[in-house]
Structure 1
Amino acid sequence: MFAGEIRQLWRYPVKGLRGEPLRSAVVDADGIAGDRLLGVFEPGTDKSVWGGSHPKLMGWEAAHPAQCSNADSAAGDPVLYESGGAAWALDDPGLPARLAETVGADKGVELRRTRGSAGRMLVVFEASLRRLSEQLGREIAAARFRPNVVVDADLEPFAEYRLERGSSIRLGDNDFTLQKPCERCVLPSWTPDGSNVRDMELHKHIIKETDNHFGIYVTTPARVVVKVGDPIAG
Protein backbone atom coordinates (compact mmCIF):
# COMPACT_ATOMS: atom_id res chain seq x y z
CA MET A 1 0.00 0.00 0.00
CA PHE A 2 1.19 3.52 -0.73
CA ALA A 3 -0.05 7.09 -0.87
CA GLY A 4 1.15 10.40 -2.27
CA GLU A 5 0.20 13.10 -4.74
CA ILE A 6 0.53 14.19 -8.35
CA ARG A 7 3.34 16.72 -8.72
CA GLN A 8 3.43 17.24 -12.50
CA LEU A 9 1.30 16.55 -15.57
CA TRP A 10 2.67 16.61 -19.12
CA ARG A 11 1.26 16.26 -22.62
CA TYR A 12 3.26 15.76 -25.85
CA PRO A 13 1.11 16.80 -28.82
CA VAL A 14 3.83 15.75 -31.30
CA LYS A 15 5.90 12.61 -30.74
CA GLY A 16 9.58 13.41 -30.37
CA LEU A 17 9.13 17.11 -29.55
CA ARG A 18 9.11 18.62 -26.07
CA GLY A 19 5.67 18.78 -24.52
CA GLU A 20 3.65 21.13 -22.36
CA PRO A 21 3.02 21.15 -18.60
CA LEU A 22 -0.63 20.95 -17.55
CA ARG A 23 -2.59 21.81 -14.42
CA SER A 24 -5.26 19.25 -15.28
CA ALA A 25 -5.87 16.67 -17.97
CA VAL A 26 -8.78 14.74 -19.42
CA VAL A 27 -7.92 11.03 -19.64
CA ASP A 28 -9.88 8.22 -21.25
CA ALA A 29 -9.33 4.89 -22.98
CA ASP A 30 -7.14 6.68 -25.55
CA GLY A 31 -4.87 8.24 -22.90
CA ILE A 32 -4.48 11.97 -22.15
CA ALA A 33 -6.52 14.09 -24.55
CA GLY A 34 -4.20 15.62 -27.15
CA ASP A 35 -1.20 13.45 -26.26
CA ARG A 36 1.03 12.15 -29.08
CA LEU A 37 -1.60 12.73 -31.74
CA LEU A 38 0.96 13.74 -34.36
CA GLY A 39 4.15 12.06 -35.48
CA VAL A 40 7.09 13.11 -37.65
CA PHE A 41 7.81 10.84 -40.63
CA GLU A 42 10.00 10.67 -43.70
CA PRO A 43 7.85 11.88 -46.60
CA GLY A 44 5.74 9.20 -48.23
CA THR A 45 6.82 6.48 -45.78
CA ASP A 46 5.91 5.06 -42.38
CA LYS A 47 9.46 5.54 -41.13
CA SER A 48 9.44 7.67 -38.00
CA VAL A 49 11.75 10.61 -37.49
CA TRP A 50 12.05 10.38 -33.71
CA GLY A 51 14.20 11.66 -30.86
CA GLY A 52 16.50 8.65 -30.83
CA SER A 53 17.46 9.11 -34.46
CA HIS A 54 17.20 12.91 -34.52
CA PRO A 55 17.68 14.20 -30.93
CA LYS A 56 17.57 17.81 -32.11
CA LEU A 57 13.81 17.30 -32.41
CA MET A 58 13.68 17.97 -28.68
CA GLY A 59 14.83 21.50 -29.39
CA TRP A 60 11.29 22.02 -30.68
CA GLU A 61 8.19 22.23 -28.51
CA ALA A 62 4.52 21.57 -29.25
CA ALA A 63 1.63 23.00 -27.25
CA HIS A 64 -2.08 23.51 -27.64
CA PRO A 65 -3.18 27.16 -27.61
CA ALA A 66 -4.67 28.22 -24.26
CA GLN A 67 -8.47 28.36 -24.31
CA CYS A 68 -10.22 31.11 -22.37
CA SER A 69 -12.44 28.63 -20.54
CA ASN A 70 -9.82 25.92 -20.08
CA ALA A 71 -6.10 26.62 -20.43
CA ASP A 72 -5.41 22.86 -20.59
CA SER A 73 -7.81 22.20 -23.46
CA ALA A 74 -6.72 19.98 -26.35
CA ALA A 75 -9.07 21.73 -28.77
CA GLY A 76 -7.69 22.73 -32.17
CA ASP A 77 -4.26 22.02 -33.60
CA PRO A 78 -1.07 22.41 -31.55
CA VAL A 79 1.40 25.20 -32.27
CA LEU A 80 5.04 24.27 -32.82
CA TYR A 81 7.90 26.38 -31.46
CA GLU A 82 11.47 26.06 -32.69
CA SER A 83 14.41 26.38 -30.33
CA GLY A 84 14.80 30.09 -31.05
CA GLY A 85 11.19 30.69 -30.03
CA ALA A 86 9.59 31.23 -33.45
CA ALA A 87 6.03 29.86 -33.55
CA TRP A 88 4.66 27.81 -36.42
CA ALA A 89 1.04 26.97 -37.16
CA LEU A 90 0.56 23.32 -38.01
CA ASP A 91 -0.77 24.18 -41.49
CA ASP A 92 2.05 26.62 -42.33
CA PRO A 93 3.48 25.34 -45.67
CA GLY A 94 7.00 26.28 -44.58
CA LEU A 95 6.92 24.20 -41.38
CA PRO A 96 8.09 20.81 -42.76
CA ALA A 97 11.13 22.29 -44.47
CA ARG A 98 12.11 24.35 -41.44
CA LEU A 99 11.69 21.42 -39.07
CA ALA A 100 13.72 19.13 -41.32
CA GLU A 101 16.48 21.73 -41.67
CA THR A 102 16.88 22.35 -37.96
CA VAL A 103 16.89 18.68 -36.89
CA GLY A 104 19.10 17.33 -39.68
CA ALA A 105 16.45 15.25 -41.45
CA ASP A 106 18.06 15.20 -44.89
CA LYS A 107 15.14 13.39 -46.55
CA GLY A 108 12.62 15.92 -45.26
CA VAL A 109 9.70 15.38 -42.89
CA GLU A 110 5.93 15.09 -42.83
CA LEU A 111 3.69 15.68 -39.82
CA ARG A 112 0.85 13.17 -39.72
CA ARG A 113 -1.82 11.94 -37.35
CA THR A 114 -0.95 8.85 -35.33
CA ARG A 115 -2.79 6.43 -33.08
CA GLY A 116 -1.92 8.58 -30.09
CA SER A 117 -0.49 7.23 -26.86
CA ALA A 118 -1.86 3.68 -27.26
CA GLY A 119 -4.44 4.30 -24.55
CA ARG A 120 -1.94 4.54 -21.73
CA MET A 121 -0.34 7.12 -19.48
CA LEU A 122 3.28 7.03 -18.28
CA VAL A 123 3.80 7.59 -14.55
CA VAL A 124 7.24 8.29 -13.03
CA PHE A 125 7.91 8.19 -9.28
CA GLU A 126 10.06 10.93 -7.73
CA ALA A 127 11.68 8.54 -5.23
CA SER A 128 13.10 6.47 -8.09
CA LEU A 129 14.24 9.60 -9.90
CA ARG A 130 16.05 10.81 -6.78
CA ARG A 131 17.73 7.44 -6.26
CA LEU A 132 18.82 7.34 -9.89
CA SER A 133 20.35 10.81 -9.46
CA GLU A 134 22.14 9.69 -6.28
CA GLN A 135 23.53 6.59 -7.98
CA LEU A 136 24.93 8.60 -10.89
CA GLY A 137 26.09 11.54 -8.78
CA ARG A 138 24.18 14.18 -10.73
CA GLU A 139 20.61 15.33 -11.20
CA ILE A 140 18.63 13.28 -13.71
CA ALA A 141 15.68 15.30 -14.98
CA ALA A 142 12.25 13.71 -15.23
CA ALA A 143 11.98 15.24 -18.70
CA ARG A 144 14.43 12.65 -20.03
CA PHE A 145 11.73 10.00 -19.61
CA ARG A 146 8.88 12.01 -21.18
CA PRO A 147 6.37 11.17 -18.42
CA ASN A 148 2.71 12.14 -18.47
CA VAL A 149 2.52 12.09 -14.67
CA VAL A 150 5.19 12.64 -12.01
CA VAL A 151 4.13 11.51 -8.54
CA ASP A 152 5.60 11.70 -5.06
CA ALA A 153 4.64 8.64 -3.02
CA ASP A 154 5.77 6.82 0.12
CA LEU A 155 7.25 3.93 -1.83
CA GLU A 156 10.88 2.89 -1.69
CA PRO A 157 12.87 3.74 -4.85
CA PHE A 158 12.08 1.38 -7.73
CA ALA A 159 9.35 -0.38 -5.66
CA GLU A 160 6.81 0.44 -8.39
CA TYR A 161 8.32 -2.29 -10.56
CA ARG A 162 7.28 -4.89 -7.98
CA LEU A 163 3.63 -3.85 -8.12
CA GLU A 164 1.44 -6.53 -9.65
CA ARG A 165 0.30 -5.96 -13.22
CA GLY A 166 -3.44 -5.41 -13.31
CA SER A 167 -3.48 -3.90 -9.82
CA SER A 168 -5.41 -0.71 -9.16
CA ILE A 169 -3.81 2.71 -8.72
CA ARG A 170 -5.97 5.63 -7.68
CA LEU A 171 -5.23 9.08 -9.10
CA GLY A 172 -7.51 11.70 -7.61
CA ASP A 173 -11.00 10.18 -7.50
CA ASN A 174 -10.27 7.79 -10.34
CA ASP A 175 -9.15 4.17 -10.55
CA PHE A 176 -6.43 3.30 -13.06
CA THR A 177 -5.00 -0.12 -13.89
CA LEU A 178 -1.27 -0.81 -13.85
CA GLN A 179 -0.49 -2.15 -17.33
CA LYS A 180 3.27 -2.76 -17.15
CA PRO A 181 6.64 -1.10 -16.48
CA CYS A 182 7.98 1.04 -19.32
CA GLU A 183 10.84 -0.56 -21.22
CA ARG A 184 13.23 2.19 -22.24
CA CYS A 185 14.73 2.94 -25.64
CA VAL A 186 17.84 5.11 -26.11
CA LEU A 187 15.87 8.38 -25.88
CA PRO A 188 16.51 9.12 -22.16
CA SER A 189 20.25 9.13 -22.85
CA TRP A 190 19.87 12.24 -25.01
CA THR A 191 19.54 15.66 -23.38
CA PRO A 192 15.83 16.59 -23.40
CA ASP A 193 16.45 20.13 -24.67
CA GLY A 194 17.67 19.26 -28.16
CA SER A 195 21.31 20.15 -27.44
CA ASN A 196 22.37 16.83 -28.98
CA VAL A 197 24.47 15.59 -26.05
CA ARG A 198 24.29 11.92 -25.09
CA ASP A 199 24.72 10.39 -21.63
CA MET A 200 25.76 6.81 -22.31
CA GLU A 201 26.42 6.15 -18.63
CA LEU A 202 22.75 6.78 -17.86
CA HIS A 203 21.63 4.40 -20.59
CA LYS A 204 23.93 1.62 -19.37
CA HIS A 205 22.92 2.20 -15.75
CA ILE A 206 19.20 1.82 -16.50
CA ILE A 207 19.88 -1.40 -18.38
CA LYS A 208 21.94 -2.81 -15.50
CA GLU A 209 20.12 -1.54 -12.42
CA THR A 210 16.44 -1.47 -13.45
CA ASP A 211 16.38 -4.14 -16.16
CA ASN A 212 16.01 -1.35 -18.74
CA HIS A 213 12.74 -0.07 -17.23
CA PHE A 214 11.82 3.32 -15.83
CA GLY A 215 8.26 4.44 -15.12
CA ILE A 216 5.02 2.48 -15.30
CA TYR A 217 2.07 2.58 -17.70
CA VAL A 218 -1.48 2.94 -16.39
CA THR A 219 -4.80 2.83 -18.23
CA THR A 220 -8.45 3.65 -17.62
CA PRO A 221 -11.59 2.77 -19.61
CA ALA A 222 -13.51 5.79 -18.29
CA ARG A 223 -13.38 9.49 -19.11
CA VAL A 224 -11.86 11.17 -16.06
CA VAL A 225 -10.01 14.32 -15.03
CA VAL A 226 -6.75 14.33 -13.07
CA LYS A 227 -5.09 17.42 -11.60
CA VAL A 228 -1.76 18.50 -10.15
CA GLY A 229 -2.10 18.11 -6.39
CA ASP A 230 -4.53 15.19 -6.59
CA PRO A 231 -3.86 12.41 -4.08
CA ILE A 232 -2.72 9.01 -5.29
CA ALA A 233 -2.96 5.61 -3.65
CA GLY A 234 -2.32 1.99 -4.44
Structure 2
Amino acid sequence: MAKRIGEISAIYRYPVKSFGGERLEGCELEEYGLHGDRVCSFYDETKEGWNRFVTARTIPNMLSYQASYENEGVRVNGPDGKRYSWDDQLLEQIQALSRKKLSSSAMFAPNPENDELLSVDAASLLLLTDKTVKRIEAKWGKELDALRFRPNLMLKLETQEEGEQSWIGRRIRVGNAELQIDSDCERCSMITIDPGTLERDPSLLRQVHEHFQLNVGVYASTVKTGYIRDGDPVYLLDESPV
Protein backbone atom coordinates (compact mmCIF):
# COMPACT_ATOMS: atom_id res chain seq x y z
CA MET A 1 0.00 0.00 0.00
CA ALA A 2 1.10 3.55 -0.69
CA LYS A 3 -0.34 6.93 0.24
CA ARG A 4 0.01 9.91 -2.07
CA ILE A 5 1.33 12.84 -0.03
CA GLY A 6 2.31 15.38 -2.67
CA GLU A 7 4.42 15.96 -5.75
CA ILE A 8 7.86 17.14 -6.80
CA SER A 9 7.79 20.91 -7.26
CA ALA A 10 11.47 21.33 -8.23
CA ILE A 11 14.58 19.25 -8.92
CA TYR A 12 18.01 20.81 -8.33
CA ARG A 13 21.43 19.49 -9.20
CA TYR A 14 24.78 20.88 -8.01
CA PRO A 15 27.55 19.35 -10.13
CA VAL A 16 30.25 21.17 -8.13
CA LYS A 17 30.10 21.20 -4.35
CA SER A 18 29.21 24.70 -3.05
CA PHE A 19 28.76 26.18 -6.53
CA GLY A 20 25.38 27.33 -7.74
CA GLY A 21 23.52 24.58 -9.56
CA GLU A 22 20.78 24.00 -12.11
CA ARG A 23 17.07 23.31 -12.06
CA LEU A 24 16.02 20.24 -14.01
CA GLU A 25 12.81 19.04 -15.64
CA GLY A 26 13.86 15.45 -14.96
CA CYS A 27 16.86 13.36 -14.03
CA GLU A 28 18.02 9.79 -13.61
CA LEU A 29 18.31 8.76 -9.98
CA GLU A 30 21.48 6.73 -9.48
CA GLU A 31 22.70 4.80 -6.45
CA TYR A 32 24.82 7.82 -5.43
CA GLY A 33 21.99 10.33 -6.02
CA LEU A 34 20.92 12.49 -8.96
CA HIS A 35 22.98 11.73 -12.06
CA GLY A 36 25.72 14.37 -12.22
CA ASP A 37 25.09 15.77 -8.75
CA ARG A 38 28.19 16.88 -6.81
CA VAL A 39 30.56 14.94 -9.01
CA CYS A 40 33.33 17.52 -8.47
CA SER A 41 34.74 19.47 -5.55
CA PHE A 42 37.68 21.47 -4.27
CA TYR A 43 39.94 20.26 -1.46
CA ASP A 44 41.87 22.03 1.26
CA GLU A 45 45.28 20.36 1.11
CA THR A 46 45.95 21.17 4.79
CA LYS A 47 43.09 18.93 6.01
CA GLU A 48 42.00 15.30 5.87
CA GLY A 49 38.74 13.34 5.57
CA TRP A 50 35.48 15.11 4.77
CA ASN A 51 36.96 18.27 6.33
CA ARG A 52 39.02 18.53 3.15
CA PHE A 53 36.02 19.83 1.22
CA VAL A 54 36.20 23.55 0.45
CA THR A 55 32.75 25.15 0.74
CA ALA A 56 30.99 28.49 0.66
CA ARG A 57 31.13 28.58 4.44
CA THR A 58 34.66 29.89 4.05
CA ILE A 59 34.51 31.14 0.44
CA PRO A 60 31.00 32.60 -0.12
CA ASN A 61 31.91 33.71 -3.66
CA MET A 62 31.83 30.05 -4.70
CA LEU A 63 28.04 30.43 -4.87
CA SER A 64 28.42 32.98 -7.68
CA TYR A 65 29.72 30.25 -10.00
CA GLN A 66 26.91 28.38 -11.77
CA ALA A 67 27.66 24.75 -12.62
CA SER A 68 25.83 22.47 -15.02
CA TYR A 69 26.34 18.88 -16.09
CA GLU A 70 26.37 18.58 -19.86
CA ASN A 71 27.30 15.64 -22.09
CA GLU A 72 28.87 13.80 -19.14
CA GLY A 73 31.03 16.80 -18.25
CA VAL A 74 30.90 19.81 -15.95
CA ARG A 75 30.57 23.34 -17.32
CA VAL A 76 30.74 26.45 -15.18
CA ASN A 77 29.58 30.02 -15.80
CA GLY A 78 31.76 32.35 -13.74
CA PRO A 79 30.74 35.70 -12.24
CA ASP A 80 33.16 37.28 -14.75
CA GLY A 81 30.93 36.08 -17.58
CA LYS A 82 33.44 33.48 -18.75
CA ARG A 83 32.60 29.82 -19.26
CA TYR A 84 34.89 27.21 -17.75
CA SER A 85 35.40 23.49 -17.93
CA TRP A 86 36.45 21.42 -14.93
CA ASP A 87 40.14 22.18 -15.32
CA ASP A 88 43.16 23.96 -13.87
CA GLN A 89 41.93 27.36 -15.07
CA LEU A 90 38.90 27.06 -12.82
CA LEU A 91 41.10 25.88 -9.94
CA GLU A 92 43.18 29.04 -10.34
CA GLN A 93 40.00 31.10 -10.03
CA ILE A 94 39.03 29.52 -6.72
CA GLN A 95 42.60 29.41 -5.43
CA ALA A 96 42.70 33.20 -5.78
CA LEU A 97 39.91 33.38 -3.19
CA SER A 98 41.78 31.39 -0.54
CA ARG A 99 45.09 31.68 1.31
CA LYS A 100 45.22 27.90 1.75
CA LYS A 101 46.59 25.48 -0.82
CA LEU A 102 43.68 24.03 -2.78
CA SER A 103 43.31 21.18 -5.22
CA SER A 104 40.42 19.92 -7.33
CA SER A 105 38.93 16.44 -7.45
CA ALA A 106 38.74 14.16 -10.41
CA MET A 107 35.30 13.71 -11.94
CA PHE A 108 33.25 11.32 -9.78
CA ALA A 109 35.97 11.14 -7.12
CA PRO A 110 34.73 9.20 -4.06
CA ASN A 111 34.11 10.86 -0.73
CA PRO A 112 37.29 10.69 1.42
CA GLU A 113 35.37 8.82 4.13
CA ASN A 114 32.75 6.88 2.14
CA ASP A 115 33.46 5.33 -1.26
CA GLU A 116 29.74 5.07 -2.00
CA LEU A 117 29.28 8.86 -1.85
CA LEU A 118 30.74 11.63 -3.98
CA SER A 119 31.24 15.24 -2.88
CA VAL A 120 28.61 15.24 -0.13
CA ASP A 121 29.05 15.37 3.62
CA ALA A 122 26.51 12.84 4.84
CA ALA A 123 24.05 11.40 2.31
CA SER A 124 23.08 11.15 -1.34
CA LEU A 125 20.00 13.36 -1.52
CA LEU A 126 18.43 16.25 0.35
CA LEU A 127 14.64 16.63 0.45
CA LEU A 128 12.73 19.69 1.60
CA THR A 129 8.98 20.38 1.67
CA ASP A 130 7.04 23.58 1.06
CA LYS A 131 5.47 23.14 4.49
CA THR A 132 8.85 23.41 6.20
CA VAL A 133 9.80 26.49 4.17
CA LYS A 134 6.53 28.20 5.16
CA ARG A 135 7.09 27.36 8.83
CA ILE A 136 10.54 28.92 8.74
CA GLU A 137 9.23 32.03 6.95
CA ALA A 138 6.60 32.44 9.66
CA LYS A 139 9.25 32.35 12.40
CA TRP A 140 11.83 34.44 10.54
CA GLY A 141 9.36 37.04 9.32
CA LYS A 142 10.98 37.27 5.89
CA GLU A 143 10.53 35.67 2.49
CA LEU A 144 12.80 32.66 2.22
CA ASP A 145 14.69 31.41 -0.83
CA ALA A 146 14.67 27.62 -0.44
CA LEU A 147 17.99 27.47 -2.33
CA ARG A 148 19.68 28.62 0.88
CA PHE A 149 19.16 24.99 1.96
CA ARG A 150 20.43 23.51 -1.34
CA PRO A 151 17.70 20.84 -1.72
CA ASN A 152 17.84 18.23 -4.45
CA LEU A 153 14.09 17.68 -4.35
CA MET A 154 11.50 20.23 -3.33
CA LEU A 155 8.21 18.56 -2.45
CA LYS A 156 4.77 20.16 -2.40
CA LEU A 157 2.63 18.45 0.21
CA GLU A 158 -1.05 17.79 -0.45
CA THR A 159 -2.02 16.23 2.87
CA GLN A 160 -1.83 17.03 6.55
CA GLU A 161 1.45 15.17 6.91
CA GLU A 162 3.60 16.50 9.73
CA GLY A 163 6.49 17.01 7.35
CA GLU A 164 9.63 15.30 6.17
CA GLN A 165 11.04 14.58 9.64
CA SER A 166 8.09 12.27 10.29
CA TRP A 167 9.21 10.06 7.38
CA ILE A 168 12.61 9.14 8.83
CA GLY A 169 13.03 5.36 8.68
CA ARG A 170 10.40 5.01 5.95
CA ARG A 171 10.43 4.96 2.17
CA ILE A 172 8.87 7.11 -0.52
CA ARG A 173 8.24 6.39 -4.19
CA VAL A 174 8.88 9.07 -6.80
CA GLY A 175 8.41 8.25 -10.47
CA ASN A 176 9.67 4.69 -10.77
CA ALA A 177 12.36 5.21 -8.12
CA GLU A 178 12.29 4.61 -4.36
CA LEU A 179 14.10 6.48 -1.60
CA GLN A 180 14.86 5.65 2.02
CA ILE A 181 14.51 8.64 4.35
CA ASP A 182 17.55 8.30 6.57
CA SER A 183 18.02 11.26 8.90
CA ASP A 184 17.58 14.93 9.69
CA CYS A 185 19.86 17.47 8.05
CA GLU A 186 21.63 19.60 10.64
CA ARG A 187 22.22 23.11 9.37
CA CYS A 188 25.25 25.37 9.57
CA SER A 189 26.23 28.92 8.62
CA MET A 190 25.78 28.16 4.90
CA ILE A 191 22.09 29.05 5.19
CA THR A 192 22.93 32.58 6.30
CA ILE A 193 24.27 33.36 2.80
CA ASP A 194 21.75 34.62 0.24
CA PRO A 195 22.56 32.58 -2.90
CA GLY A 196 21.65 35.53 -5.14
CA THR A 197 23.32 38.48 -3.42
CA LEU A 198 25.88 36.60 -1.23
CA GLU A 199 24.83 38.82 1.68
CA ARG A 200 24.84 37.20 5.12
CA ASP A 201 21.96 37.30 7.61
CA PRO A 202 22.85 35.43 10.83
CA SER A 203 19.30 35.89 12.12
CA LEU A 204 18.10 33.00 9.96
CA LEU A 205 20.45 30.54 11.62
CA ARG A 206 19.34 31.80 15.04
CA GLN A 207 15.69 31.16 14.18
CA VAL A 208 16.46 27.71 12.77
CA HIS A 209 18.39 26.90 15.94
CA GLU A 210 15.68 28.18 18.29
CA HIS A 211 12.62 26.73 16.57
CA PHE A 212 13.94 23.78 14.57
CA GLN A 213 16.96 22.61 16.60
CA LEU A 214 19.03 23.29 13.44
CA ASN A 215 17.25 20.46 11.57
CA VAL A 216 15.76 21.47 8.21
CA GLY A 217 15.06 18.93 5.48
CA VAL A 218 16.03 15.26 5.46
CA TYR A 219 18.77 13.14 3.96
CA ALA A 220 17.71 10.24 1.76
CA SER A 221 19.40 7.38 -0.06
CA THR A 222 18.44 5.48 -3.19
CA VAL A 223 16.71 2.14 -2.69
CA LYS A 224 15.59 1.70 -6.31
CA THR A 225 17.09 3.65 -9.20
CA GLY A 226 14.84 5.20 -11.82
CA TYR A 227 13.87 8.39 -13.62
CA ILE A 228 12.12 11.24 -11.80
CA ARG A 229 10.41 14.32 -13.23
CA ASP A 230 9.20 17.67 -11.98
CA GLY A 231 5.54 17.17 -11.11
CA ASP A 232 5.85 13.45 -10.36
CA PRO A 233 3.56 12.33 -7.52
CA VAL A 234 5.22 11.33 -4.25
CA TYR A 235 3.94 8.32 -2.32
CA LEU A 236 4.71 7.43 1.29
CA LEU A 237 5.04 3.67 1.47
CA ASP A 238 4.03 1.44 4.33
CA GLU A 239 6.63 0.60 6.95
CA SER A 240 10.01 -0.15 5.38
CA PRO A 241 10.70 -3.88 5.05
CA VAL A 242 12.86 -5.35 7.80
SS in structure 1 of the partner of residue 213 of structure 2? coil
Among residues 82, 85, 103, which one is paired with 1:86 in the alignment?
82
Taking the aligned partners of 2:66 and 2:98, their CA distance within structure 1 comes to 17
| Alpha-carbon distance in structure 1 between the residues aligned to 2:211 and 2:104 | 36
**What is the rounded CA distance, in whole Å, between the counterparts of 2:83 and 2:219 in structure 1?**
32
Q: State the partner residue of 1:132.
A: 136
CA distance in 2, matches of 1:140, 1:19: 18
Q: Deviations over 1:37-78 (max 9, x none)?
A: 11112357543321111111101111122xxxxxxxxx4220
Question: Which among 54, 57, 60 is matched to residue 55 of structure 1?
Answer: 60
Among candidates 145, 148, 154, match of residue 152 of structure 2: 148
Unaligned runs of 5+ in 1: 66-74
- Assess, with a 3 A threshold, how the Cα gap between structure 1 residues 138 and 76 changes in structure 2: closer, same or farther: same
Report what 2:200 is aligned to: 198
The answer on 1:26 being equivalent to 2:28 is yes
Q: Deviating runs (4+, > 4 A) in structure 1?
A: 43-46, 155-158
Percent sequence identity is: 24
Within 1, Cα distance between the matches of 2:161 and 2:134? 8
RMSD (Å), alpha carbons: 2.0
Q: Residue type matched to 1:95 in 2?
A: L
For the 8 Å contact 1:16–1:51, the answer to whether it is kept is: yes
Matched, 1:112 2:105: yes
Matched, 1:168 2:171: yes
Count of aligned pairs between the two proteins = 220
2: CA distance, partners of 1:63 / 1:31: 16
Note if contact 2:68-2:74 (Cα within 8 Å) is conserved in structure 1: yes
Shift of 1:169: 1.2
| Aligned equivalents of 1:186, 1:156: Cα separation in 2 | 31
Cα distance in 2 for residues equivalent to 1:169 and 1:96: 38
Could you tell me how far apart the structure 1 residues matched to 2:206 and 2:74 are? Answer: 35
Q: Is the 8 A contact 1:127 1:157 kept in 2?
A: no
Q: Using a 3 Å threshold, how does the CA distance of structure 1 residues 28 and 76 change in structure 2: closer, same or farther?
A: closer
Distance apart, 1:220 and its partner CA: 1.8
Contact 1:14 1:62 in 2 (8 A): yes
Q: 1:2 to 1:205 in 2, by over 3 A?
A: farther
How far apart, CA to CA, are the structure 1 residues paired with 2:217 and 2:225? 23
> TM-score, normalised on structure 1?
0.85
2:240 maps to which residue? Answer: none
CA contact (8 A) 2:128 2:164 kept: no
| 8 A Cα contact 1:11 1:32, kept in partner | yes
Contact 1:127 1:156 in 2 (8 A): no
* 1:181 aligns with one of 181, 184, 193: 184
